[in-house]
Chains A and B, each alone.
Chain A
Amino acid sequence: MLNFNSIYKFYYEWWKNLDKALFVIIMFLFSLGLFFSLVSTSLIVSDRLDTNNYFFFFKHFIYILIGIIILVFFSSLSEDNLFKISFYLFFTSLFFLFLIPFFGTEVNGSKRWLNLFFLPRFQPIEIVKPFIIVFIATILCSEKNFNIYFKYLLTFFAIIPACLLLMIQPDIGQTLLIFLAWATLVFISGISLPIILIFFSFTLISLVYMVFFISKFAYIKSRILSFFNPSDGTHNFQSDKAIDAISSGGFFGKGIGEGTLKNRVPEAHTDYIISVISEEFGVVAIVLLLILFLFFIYTVFKKIYLEKSEKIKLILTGTMCLIIFQALIHIGVNIRLFPTTGMTLPFLSYGGSSIVGVSILSGIILNLTKRKID
């Protein structure tokens, strides 16, 4: 009885202060992912792996259940506890990321997964991402009277290990994502504009140098070149197929289950889910999805406007940017505005690590947008 009462109380407290609009958006996005998984993508993977037709839908469903538990857990923590846990989890996940070069599993040419005997196979970077934001925000908001530029330098050093570890995988998409999120945080924390300009031009030059003169990144070069020269050969196989799929879907799509891309492109259910959806439901569906994401960020930013704590402002912006940047990169790759990078679409793509990662992000967002009990 007491037990039940405490659960009820916990639930009540959690629900009472929750930003319901955000919660609904997040749940809606998750269920959209489940829906697409049910009607279109699940069958492909099952076909390929020769399992029960809805095996992957169930797996996806279970991941989402786990995700929701994680989401509730993170959103119900007190702020202090959240920061504390994030701090520890940041280092733990970074440690896992660090293990990849030694114990990582290679899938399709990139070593991005960790397959430890006591854990299911996962991509540590998805776990690192949310906490790195909290970590950066913590450093930036440190009240020890440091010079602000010294703080920027510290945060830069904080992301360097993660970035380096990602680059040796190699996973340029995620590196870019983390770098962009960091740059956004630095930008909104009030750095003067000339410095931003200088810094960005510097990074741009070094990136160009890296891509064109370091052999390990030759694959990026070839992707970029084939991206700018789309008619050159067929080596841009996936991207060609994705574009064909979107075009063949037209404005309103071919209809549920009618798409063919999912059978032709490897990883269609993760890296090319937008094309799969677009082929079956039309580009209009994707435009609506974009609007939904924009509404999501709008709701969060509105909350930031009323927020007083600088740290919370930073974390909310950072986490939100991670989600939106990832979504935009994913869609951009699908519609051929970006060269190919293996990036999932938050909330919608299949994949345990991705769902868990995005659950943590939304948990943090829901936590920090809770009604404050003064």
Chain B
Amino acid sequence: MNDKKNNVTLEEYENKFSYKKSKTNLNIEFNRIAFIFFLFLAISIIYSIQLLHLGSLKIKNENKLLSVKKNYRADIVDRNGNYLVKTVSSIDIGINPTEVIDKKKLLINLKLIFPNKDYIDISDKLKKKRYFYLEKKISADNYEKIMSLGDKSIKSEEKLTRIYPQKNLFSHIIGQIDDNNKGISGLEKSFNKRLKEKREPLQLTLDTDIQYLIREELVKFQSIFRSKGSTAILMNVNNGEILSMVSYPDFDLNKREVVNDLNFINRATKGVYELGSVFKTFTVAAGLEEGLIKTNTEFLNLEKKLKCGKNNISEYDNKIPSDLTVEQILIRSGNIGSVRIGQKLEIEKLKSFLQKIGILSKINFDIEEVGVPIPFKWGKCKLATVSFGHGITTTPLQLAKAYGIIVNGGFEIQPSVIKKNSENNQNQKRIIKKGVSEQINEILRKIVTTKEGTAGLANIEGYEVGGKTGTAEKATVGGYTRKAKVNTFVSIFPTSKPKYVMIVLLDEPKTSEDYIYKYKNKSGSYKGTPFNTAGWTSVEVAGKIIQKIGPILATKYKEN
């Protein structure tokens, strides 16, 4: 027993001895093993930090996927919060046949998920070895299922879809985006950055209901007067907020078509027109502003015809008296009278007035599709023609702005479709003398109410409509054509304290033989359009529109 014990100890010593020699050439140091441990410790600490970070992520943004953030595009709503544009992210599923491993198995699995697909076709596509889309805008359910297959050949592509619930209604203002989430026209272009960066929806000043009603009327009268196109703008004259802006023909944004036809331009902002008599208001207003005339200033012995250079200036209406007051010139839309006022003003004063109310230069607007008024050289004849609105061009939007300033008491406004949060109407800048507006408004009202006025058809009871018509022949190569006309009616209401200005412009309307007019200022009705002038077309359209939107405006926007 004792012997055995001794033996063991001896062996042990031998062992120890042999280790010391270290035949293995190894040099295992414990500090290196410890180093490994601390390496793991460090990694664990990093992991814990990441884990805690992930755990705390929940509070900040629940249910918001990482992938959605980058591709975001804010919604657009109207002034009442109705969606005009909504972003929906959709996922397309494609298959790359070169990565398919087991074709049969894949087809069986796909059949389980999409039982109604044409599998002969899919099988053919798989053979062709070219990438193809299996399902576009896949449902969330099927997406989970198909991704759970874990097949490498199945590719998912997230796509951003803009949905336009109002279809055509706001096509020109909103504009289009390309496939890379980049705005290419309208607000989508000019507010591209804002829509991408901020999450809250972009609120517009437009009112969907009003826009709908106005468009409906334009579409209706488009078929009656067979015009090339038409546009209408409804703007609040006190703050420049545009409640409606329609340009017809329009297009359905949901279809994402490439629109090249020039007839589809935004007539309200991009269309540059010679607008005719509506400019007479400016001439009169300029005269009142400069104190050169009063509304009862008389102009005597007005000619019926005037020759300036090679152009003849004549009256539309030969029955017009030769002695007229300023008021009557505007009511009866006298050309020669306007020329006289213009001549009294002289070039500089008329020019600076038109400049002041924003007619002459390009307007700064929320969308980039804005027309540039055609520049011209002022001269004696130019002064004469400009006085009654010829030989000068501008956009309907600028016309609305100019009338807004003239009727709102003379305060500068900036037309906008973007709803501003703070209503700072207090520090408005006056640019036209006090009192001018009141005088003009009175005359504009008379244009609608009196027998001599050109806009009797717009005299809708209860809304105190005032306004000025404008019929301009379209300039063609080498002169004007009698047939192609631009008919404009600028209405303002209520004239006692104007709140709205509404432009209705019809591009080349024709007469209608069986449209029945109902007189407003006298009893009876009249069948068929006698002339394709603003008084018979645009005014009628504007009247119908005011009839429809009037109650909404009167109730909904009572306070502001």
Contact = CB atoms under 8 A, between A and B. Distances in A.
Given A151-B25, A246-B54, A264-B144, A187 B48 contact: no
A264 B46 contact: no
A96 to B, nearest CB: 23
Name B's interface SS: helix
A264 B54 contact: no
Contacts of B24: 140-143, 310
Contacts of B144: 263-264
Contacts of B62: 248
Contacts of A294: 40-41, 44
Interface of B: 8, 12, 19, 23-30, 32-34, 36-37, 40-41, 43-44, 46-48, 50-52, 54-59, 62-63, 65-67, 69-70, 91, 101-102, 144, 147-152, 155-158
B66 A243 contact: yes
A321 B35 CA distance: 12
B47 A337 contact: yes
Given A298-B37, A304-B30, A283 B66 contact: no
Contacts, number: 150
A148 B151 CA distance: 47
A246 B51 contact: yes
Nearest to A189: B26
Given A109-B152, A287-B48, A337-B47, A247 B147 contact: no
B29 A109 contact: no
A108 interface: yes
A48 B530 CA distance: 78
Chain B CB count within 10 A is highest, among A187, A244, A305, A314, for: A244
A189 B152 CA distance: 42
Contact of A189 (B27, B37, B41, B44): B27
Interface string A171-191: 000000000000010011110
Given A301-B34, A324-B40, A190 B28 contact: yes
Contacts of A335: 47, 50-51, 54
Contacts of A317: 33, 36
Nearest to B153: A109
A249 interface: yes
B33 A231 contact: no
B28 A240 contact: no
A374 B47 contact: no
Given A190-B32, A310-B28, 20 more contacts: A141-B24, A145-B25, A187-B32, A190-B29, A235-B156, A237-B147, A237-B156, A240-B65, A240-B66, A250-B55, A250-B58, A263-B144, A265-B148, A287-B51, A301-B33, A301-B37, A313-B33, A324-B40, A331-B47, A337-B46
Contacts of B151: 108-109
**Chain A contact residues: over half helix, strand or loop, or mixed?**
helix
A196 to B, nearest CB: 11
A147 interface: yes
Given A264-B148, A332-B47, A190 B27 contact: yes
A22 interface: no
A284 B51 CA distance: 8
B47 A251 contact: no
B50 A337 contact: yes
A77 interface: no
B66 A230 contact: yes
Contacts of B25: 145-148, 151
A205 B32 CA distance: 25
Interface in A226-279: 230-231, 233-235, 237, 240, 243-244, 246-251, 263-267, 278
Contacts of B51: 246, 278, 283, 286-287, 335
A184 B35 CA distance: 11
A141 B23 CA distance: 8
A328 B65 contact: no
Contacts of B27: 189-190
A107 B43 CA distance: 31
Contacts of B34: 301
Contacts of B150: 108-109, 266-267
Contacts of B46: 337
Contacts of A313: 28, 33
A203 to B, nearest CB: 18
B55 A251 contact: yes
A310 B28 CA distance: 7
Given A265-B148, A294-B40, A247 B33 contact: no
